Structure 1
Amino acid sequence: MSKLLTLKERLKKALFFSVLLLLLACTTGLIVNQNVESVGTKYIVTSNEVPNADAILVLGAYVFPNGTVSTMLNDRLTAGYELYEQGKAPKLIVSGDHGRKDYDEVNSMKSFLKDKGVPNQDVFMDHAGFSTYESVYRARDIFKVQKLIIVTQEYHLKRAVYVARALGLEAYGVASDRRDYGQAMKMYKFREIAARNKDFLWTNVIKPKPTFLGDAIPVFGDGKATDDK
């Protein structure tokens, strides 16, 4: 009987500590999420308020198999183009996933901007922008940007600006929300909590290098240097 009571007590203790650890993890995650959101929000401004910068970084999103950009990406590119037209920066960096031959975000993004009249030499393609962290890291180390305007939807922009600031860039964000993106936004915002916690760890603790680095391609040069060979 005493052995049975001991086993029950052990199970109760194990359950208690498991619940305690879970609550601690959830609380920590929410605190980190709030910190990233709070810091990022400070530097999100309107297109008229944003100071001039070295470049405008447009973060990638889904592209259809025929090369047409998705609605969210269309809005990001349009906002980036408008900032370029206002003279907020002399160059644009389009950063996205081009890790496979059958999927290419960045050439579609560059084509979109060229169709609007942006000269080829003013658009730099970051073919290895596989994540927000990598896009910003490469903007700093490959494209040698020091002052940056980041363009994406607001839910994502807070983290992007936080990452850039944590990596030492003078970064500002301009939101590209132009419409209601539907029910998918609920999922995106929920996933963003985990993404903010991950990028907090990456920028402050782990500090991993991107999947690819390579030779510097300063954004002050010619964007044609990033065209497919």
Structure 2
Amino acid sequence: MRKIKDIFIRLLVRRFWLKFLILALLAIGGTWCSNWYVIATTKSQIYHELNEVPQKKVALVLGTIKGYRDYENPYFTYRMEAAAELYLSGKVEHILVSGDNHVHSYNEPEDMLNKLVELGVPASRITLDYAGFRTFDSMIRAKEIFGVDDIIVVSQEYHLQRALYIANANNIKAIGYTAKNVDYNGINLREPLAKFKAVLDCSILFTSPKFLGKKEPISLY
């Protein structure tokens, strides 16, 4: 009887590990396929040279933390510089900055506004989205809240790929202008999962932003 019980337990353990292995392979395969698809379908929408960027009315700058104390996050700095380049060169007439302001002491949009003004962009030409808690929310809110469905998105290339995929899946006409990249290995680990999540949000779960609210169309005049 004990021998039969031991065999039964071993069979259960084997079945558990077999299921775990299958699920792990599916997750890895799904992540790889999602990354390939997102990158392949957005490649032609990404611009690296300012003089090649088509003119549009509005640029959307995706938020990130400004930095800590005296340290300024280079991702933040390069995004603001790229956005300022678009405005000062006449490629766009207005800039929408979208970031996280979930608590009073943390305000990405205000930090973005201040940096852009420092770089020469008039404050009157900047609109703030305080509920851009993640890339998905920023893209959907640009269309649904601010009435922008033809836009230049500004961020690093790895981030633009995901943002433009979200735009394409939600009937937003978008191109991307790359901010200078930053060498950081952590992005290489996190971004494939973020792209996989974007595919889930847009094609399987049909997720909605955390907040929508009343419409606030951007006035260009």
Using the TM superposition, give the Cα deviation of residue 68 of structure 1 relative to its aligned residue in structure 2, in angstroms. 7.7
The residue type paired with residue 134 of structure 1 is D
> How far, CA to CA, are the matches of 1:68 and 1:134 in structure 2?
27
* Structure 1 CA distance for aligned equivalents of residues 81 and 135 of structure 2: 19
Which of 21, 33, 43 aligns to 2:23? It is 21
Does residue 168 (structure 1) correspond to residue 167 (structure 2)? The answer is no
2:78 matches 1:75: yes
Partner of 2:9: 7
Query: Quick one: percent identity of the two aligned structures?
Result: 32
Instruction: Give the SS at the match of 2:207.
Output: coil
Q: CA deviation at 1:139?
A: 0.5
Task: Tell me which residue corresponds to 2:199.
Answer: 200
Sort the Cα spacing of 1:69 and 1:57 in 2 relative to 1 into closer, same or farther, 3 A: farther
| 1:214 pairs with 2:216 | no
Q: Given the alignment, which residue of 130, 133, 140 partners 2:133?
A: 130
Shift of 1:92: 0.3
Deviation at residue 69 of structure 1 after TM alignment: 5.0
Secondary structure at the aligned position of 2:180 is classed as coil
SS of residue paired to 2:51: coil
Say if 1:33 and 1:193, in contact at 8 Å, map to a contact too: yes
Unaligned runs of 5+ in 1: 223-229
CA 1:116–1:19: 2 relative to 1, 3 Å: closer
Distance 2:72 2:61 in 1: 13
Q: Counterparts in 2 of 1:5-154, with a 5 A limit?
A: 5-46=7-48, 47-64=50-67, 69-154=72-157
TM-score by length of 1: 0.87
Give TM-score, length-normalised by structure 2.
Answer: 0.90
User: CA RMSD for the aligned pairs?
Assistant: 2.0
Query: Cα 1:10–1:149, aligned 2, differ >3 Å: closer, same or farther?
Result: same
* Amino acid corresponding to residue 206 of structure 1 in structure 2: L
Q: Does 1:188 align with 2:199?
A: no
Equivalent-residue separation in structure 1 for 2:19 and 2:67 (angstroms):
47
Count of residues in correspondence between the two structures: 218
Task: List alignment gaps of at least 5 residues for structure 2.
Answer: none
Where has structure 1 moved over 4 Å in runs of 4 or more?
Answer: 65-69
Could you tell me how far 1:149 is from its partner in structure 2? Answer: 0.5
* Greater mean deviation of Cα atoms: 49-58 or 138-147: 49-58
Q: Which amino acid aligns with 2:42?
A: G
